[in-house]
């Protein structure tokens, strides 16, 4: 019998006790209360009309949250990096130049992806705790005349938010498309794709959307669509927006099969968009701004130092905080997890060993959460300072 040839025995997979922490880090964050029901909805497939009704609902919601009238909006199967790779690979080809405005780890990831695709990469940098000005970017755009500029709107590794007004117009002046990472900014920070001249944008659902990781919305401008339709290169099959647009019925006349989309992820994204559109973007933006402003005020009253010195550069969804000398960042986050059941994270990329990363976003963007976090941080700091005396 075939069973006699088994080389690996069945493992014993048993459940463990687990207490879910309060997710107040840079993501993922806690779900909308309605998410549990959304994730239990029936499986839908391309063989049923409801599948396309759900896709239509999602596309309408994405036009709203990206603030674009473009029909070329959809969602990639995969977390935020799927969106990043899709936007880059569909709009910049092998041998073309991508200028990367780098200030955090996600710009470094864009550099890695572009290089693997055979794209020429040029990098311009800003201080880790600051952002770019148009005056800083223009000389490089003029000199290189790149196919595109990649920039991160909200950077969760540094806690900075990039000013976008005028950047699209500047890129287009020198023949470049504008590609933007909005993973940790969309919903929590104003983002106006059409008004700002953004050509390719992507986000993810596990941050301010308050959903599960695993699906990455993307949006493309008319200028980007023209590049896609006339390009002389092909992106990876899985990320080909031409093919994906047919599956997502972006133009109302195609229902082609490309790959099997994950039904729970579709329901989850639809649920997030339902909640966001009910609240409305202006209310969401104001809620995030007020909650984080309250948190910053509390921290500064207690003598904490914010990593980003200029208030206008601070990201409303993720705050980076500098600990007093002598306190270990990993031990500090461990204390918060064990004493307060709060999960925040230490620095990543350029902020390793330099800052804490604290998320107040999605359903957690409330003054109550801000106060809970401030009180816990004070307790942890006092405990470490007392132990070091």
pLDDT of 388 strictly over 80: no
Residues 310 and 271 in one domain: no
Helix, coil or strand: residue 212:
coil
Asked whether residue 11 is assigned to any structural domain, the reply reads no
Q: 258, 278, 298: which is the final residue of a domain?
A: 278
Residue-wise pLDDT for 60-85, tens only, equals 999 999 999 999 999 999 999 999 99
Helical ranges in the chain per DSSP H:
35-39, 49-66, 80-91, 105-116, 134-144, 167-173, 193-196, 222-230, 241-247, 263-279, 281-301, 329-340, 367-387
Residues 71 and 198 in one domain: yes
Asked whether residue 202 is assigned to any structural domain, the reply reads yes
Candidates 177, 123, 188; CA nearest to 155 is 188
pLDDT of 1 strictly over 80: no
Q: Give the angle subtended at the CA of 229 by the CAs of 239 and 67, to the nearest 5°.
A: 70
Asked whether residue 138 is assigned to any structural domain, the reply reads yes
Mean pLDDT to the nearest integer, 32-51: 95
Candidates 354, 297, 374; CA nearest to 159 is 354
Asked whether residue 16 is assigned to any structural domain, the reply reads no
Spatial separation of the C-alpha atoms in residues 226 and 169, rounded to whole Å:
17
Mean pLDDT to the nearest integer, 212-234: 97
Tokens representing residue 246 in the block: 């047919």
Residue-wise pLDDT for 174-194, tens only, equals 999 999 999 999 999 999 999
Asked whether residue 156 is assigned to any structural domain, the reply reads yes
Residues 330 and 255 in one domain: no
Nearby residues of 234 by Cβ (< 8 Å), 6 or more positions away: 240
Asked whether residue 6 is assigned to any structural domain, the reply reads no
| Per-residue confidence (pLDDT) for residue 47, from 0 to 100 | 87
Asked whether residue 61 is assigned to any structural domain, the reply reads yes
Q: 259, 278, 297: which is the final residue of a domain?
A: 278
Helix, coil or strand: residue 215:
strand
Residues 355 and 330 in one domain: yes
Domain with 379, as residue range(s), is: 22-28+280-387
Asked whether residue 75 is assigned to any structural domain, the reply reads yes
Residue stretches of the annotated binding site:
357
Residues 94 and 71 in one domain: yes
Residues 142 and 286 in one domain: no
Residues 221 and 347 in one domain: no
Supply the CATH number for residue 115's domain.
Answer: 3.40.640.10
Spatial separation of the C-alpha atoms in residues 169 and 157, rounded to whole Å:
27
Mean pLDDT to the nearest integer, 259-271: 97
Tokens representing residue 281 in the block: 């973007």
Read out DSSP for 86-138? HHHHHHS-TT-EEEEEESSHHHHHHHHHHHHTT-EEEEEE--TTS---HHHHH
Number of domains in the chain: 2
Residues 361 and 220 in one domain: no
Residues 206 and 304 in one domain: no
Helix, coil or strand: residue 341:
coil
Helix axis angle for 105-116 and 80-91, nearest 10°, is 50
Spatial separation of the C-alpha atoms in residues 248 and 286, rounded to whole Å:
32
Residue stretches of the annotated binding site for substrate:
357
Contact 152, 200 (CB under 8 A): no
Spatial separation of the C-alpha atoms in residues 22 and 343, rounded to whole Å:
6
pLDDT of 386 strictly over 90: no
Supply the CATH number for residue 360's domain.
Answer: 3.90.1150.10
| Per-residue confidence (pLDDT) for residue 281, from 0 to 100 | 98
Residues 269 and 195 in one domain: yes
Torsion sign, CA atoms 316, 99, 229, 225: positive
**CA count, 13 A, side-chain hemisphere, 355:** 26
Residues 234 and 341 in one domain: no
What is the chain's Cα-based Rg? 22
Mean pLDDT to the nearest integer, 348-375: 97
Q: 225, 255, 278: which is the final residue of a domain?
A: 278
- Burial, 383: exposed, middle or buried (Cβ in 10 Å; 0-12, 13-18, 19+)? middle
Residues 207 and 292 in one domain: no
Contact 159, 315 (CB under 8 A): yes
| Per-residue confidence (pLDDT) for residue 200, from 0 to 100 | 98
């Amino acid at each position: 019998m075939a069973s006699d040839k088994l080389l690996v025995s069945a493992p014993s997979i048993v459940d463990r006790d687990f207490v879910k922490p309060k997710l107040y880090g840079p993501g993922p964050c806690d779900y909308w209360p309605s998410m549990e029901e959304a994730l239990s909805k029936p499986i839908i497939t391309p063989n049923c009309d409801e599948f396309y009704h759900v896709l239509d609902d999602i596309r309408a919601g994405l036009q709203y949250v990206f603030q674009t009238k473009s029909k070329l909006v959809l969602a990639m199967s995969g977390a935020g990096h799927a969106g990043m790779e899709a936007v880059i690979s569909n709009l910049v080809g092998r041998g073309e130049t991508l200028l990367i405005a780098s200030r955090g780890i996600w710009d470094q990831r864009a550099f890695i992806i572009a290089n693997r695709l055979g794209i020429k990469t040029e990098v311009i940098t800003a201080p880790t705790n600051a952002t770019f000005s148009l005056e800083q970017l223009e000389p490089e755009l003029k000199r290189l005349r790149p196919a595109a500029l990649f920039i991160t709107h909200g950077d969760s590794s540094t806690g900075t938010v990039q000013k976008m007004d005028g950047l699209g117009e500047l890129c287009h002046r020198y023949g470049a498309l504008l590609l933007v990472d909005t993973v940790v900014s969309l919903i929590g920070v104003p983002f106006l794709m059409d008004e700002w001249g953004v050509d390719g944008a992507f986000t993810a659902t596990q941050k301010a959307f308050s959903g599960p990781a695993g699906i990455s919305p993307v949006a493309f401008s008319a200028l980007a669509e023209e590049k896609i339709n006339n390009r002389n290169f092909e992106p990876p099959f899985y990320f080909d927006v031409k093919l994906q647009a047919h599956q997502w019925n972006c133009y109302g006349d195609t229902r082609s099969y490309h790959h099997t989309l994950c039904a729970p992820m579709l329901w989850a994204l639809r649920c997030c968009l339902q909640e966001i559109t009910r609240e409305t973007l202006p209310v969401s933006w104001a809620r995030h701004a007020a909650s984080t402003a309250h948190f910053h005020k509390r921290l500064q009253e207690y003598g904490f130092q914010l990593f980003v010195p200029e208030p206008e550069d601070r990201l409303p969804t993720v705050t980076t905080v500098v600990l007093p000398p002598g306190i270990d960042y990993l031990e500090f986050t461990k204390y918060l997890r064990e004493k307060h059941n709060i999960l925040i994270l230490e620095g990543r990329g350029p902020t390793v060993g330099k800052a804490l990363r604290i998320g107040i976003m999605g359903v957690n963007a409330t003054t109550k959460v801000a106060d809970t976090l401030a009180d816990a941080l004070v307790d942890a700091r006092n405990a470490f300072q007392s132990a070091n005396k």
